[in-house]
Amino acid sequence: MIPNSPIRADRIAADIDALAAITEPGRPWTRRAFTPKFLEGRKWLEQALQQLGAETRIDAAGNLIGTIAGRRPELGTIMLGSHSDTVPDGGRFDGIAGVVAGLEVARALKDQGLTLDHTLEVVDFLAEEVSIFGVSCIGSRGMSGTRPAEWLKRTNDDVTLERAIAAVGGDPFETTPRDDIKAFLELHIEQGPVLQNEQLDIGVVTAIAGITRIEIIVDGRADHAGTTPMGARKDALTTAAWITLGVEELGKALASGEEHFAATVGEFEMTPNAANVVPARVRMLIDARAELRADMERFIEELGKGVAAIAEKTGVTVSEPRIVSDNQPTPGHADLLDVLDAACDTVGARHRRMASGAGHDTAWMARITKAAMIFVPCVDGRSHTPDEFATTEDIALGAAVLLDAVLALDTKLQETN
């Protein structure tokens, strides 16, 4: 129990254990969207929401929503939640902690006999993780009206995403964004080591980093590895290695400030990939993430200059860096960040502001409402692995912060509307 809080850690632990038990045989914590195990987990969540008195439904985007009507429903909705789907072989807390925290906030309000003026909704978003269709945040993009229409034709084993959304109870052709949600809050494990290392309880998320992916093609020349003199080679791999080191050096320089930045050569394909052949071609895909757009623009500019300099030095042809995808950073709403800071102080949670280097449903909800999120620590910063772990006490403290924030917003949102 948290002193002076109706949040109950034992209920949170039981919820997480119940969902963890619903997993693919021999694959701990595997419950991918659209699979039978995912639907089984959703059935459990639906029953848990109904037991506390919420009306449940699947919306057009395929999200599971539990609704507790407010005294003045015309004021709109305060929404809490995250996602219950997982990556393969690792996801006991990622997403699940946020759904369970929202569930516990609703229970705590009921225990106290409190009904908000606003309607309260707890949501389990569909397919936040990269799904079997190769795309992510399907439910939050759908709710916000930002899901690309062409995604519906994506297939997996001859089943389209269109059919899959319909199969979970959604309506893939209803794309009107919600306009009644006045605030959205999401709790999530940090997926990094900062809170643990600094012995803090809560991270108030200032922004979700923008993600830019950049492709570079290095065209060298295939030659015999044993007979071609070292000084006469056009080795694509050597040039690609120089570029990779340059990406790391530039990324570290941009990460030296207070704002979040990271850059990774995450995909690397080499041909002909034979022991006795000088590499002829390399394809590289860079994943860069920035809290500030100016940092991303600087990275792109400096990357282009660096690649050109390396190509001139090695004599190997290198393409200009090509932006494959480019998402802007999403700041947390300033009003909500202040409310969350105050809630941390109220419940006695040691906290700091910090950015998220990972993507979350909150980024898409911010397109249609005030949105923000909080992090709770996870052990050694591990995530997307069977070893991912967060303590019940940390999640419960996060839920207590959410509860205090919801109660404050129920009043503050009326003052600002």
Q: What is the mean pLDDT of residues 88-99?
A: 94
- pLDDT tens digits for range 371-411: 999 999 999 999 999 999 999 999 999 999 999 999 999 99
Does 321 have pLDDT greater than 70? yes
- Is the pLDDT confidence value at 348 over 70? yes
Q: Is the pLDDT of residue 135 over 80?
A: yes
- What superfamily would CATH give domain 9-208+329-416? Zn peptidases (3.40.630.10)
| Residue limits of CATH 3.40.630.10 in the chain | 9-208+329-416
HEC readout, 299-310: HHHHHHHHHHHH
pLDDT tens across 235-258, in order? 999 999 999 999 999 999 999 988
Q: What percent of the chain has pLDDT over 70?
A: 100
**Residue 416's pLDDT is what?**
76
Q: Was domain 210-326 assigned CATH 3.30.70.360?
A: yes
Q: Could you report the per-residue pLDDT of 284-299, keeping only the tens digit for each?
A: 999 999 999 999 999 9
Quick check: 242 and 314 in contact, CB under 8 A? Answer: yes
Region of 298 (left: φ > 0; alpha: ψ -120 to 50; beta: rest) is alpha
Instruction: Spell out the alpha helix ranges (H) of 192-276.
Output: 194-197, 236-254
Phi-psi label, residue 83: left if phi above 0, alpha if psi -120 to 50, beta otherwise: beta
Query: Does 155 have pLDDT greater than 90?
Result: yes
> Once rounded to an integer, what is the mean pLDDT over residues 172-183?
97
pLDDT for 2? 76
Q: Residue 23 is which amino acid? A: T
Residues of CATH 3.30.70.360 domain(s) within the chain? 210-326
**Residues sharing a CB contact under 8 Å with residue 158, sequence separation 6 or more, in sequence order:** none
**What residues pair up with 160 in beta bridges, in sequence order?**
155
pLDDT at 1 over 70: no
